[in-house]
Amino acid sequence: MKKNLGKAHTILRLFLAGLCAYLYFDGIITGTWGVVVLLLAGLYLFTGLTSYAPLYDIFNMSTRRSKKKVDKP
């Protein structure tokens, strides 16, 4: 897996994972929607920790900055 998420998107996804988990475990969202939110939390956690988004790979996208090569004299 090649990393394709920038730092800002990684932090945002980790924040969203925590928010979704909070909403589920605090009982704010329950039932079927609660399970959906919990699955989203797992997805956000996975993509945030690995800095890899499978959909970005499918669509050949990346928000990660590319390192510029500097020619040495």
The Cα–Cα gap between 73 and 46 comes to 42
Would you give per-residue pLDDT tens digits along the chain (73 residues)? 889 999 999 999 999 999 999 999 999 999 999 999 999 999 999 999 999 999 988 998 888 887 765 566 6
CA angle 55, 21, 62 (to 5 degrees): 20
The Cα–Cα gap between 24 and 42 comes to 12
Region for 15 from its dihedrals, namely left if φ exceeds 0, alpha if ψ lies in -120 to 50, beta otherwise: alpha
User: Global pTM?
Assistant: 0.81
The Cα–Cα gap between 63 and 49 comes to 15
Structural domain boundaries of the chain? Answer: 7-58
CB atoms within 10 A of CB 1: 9
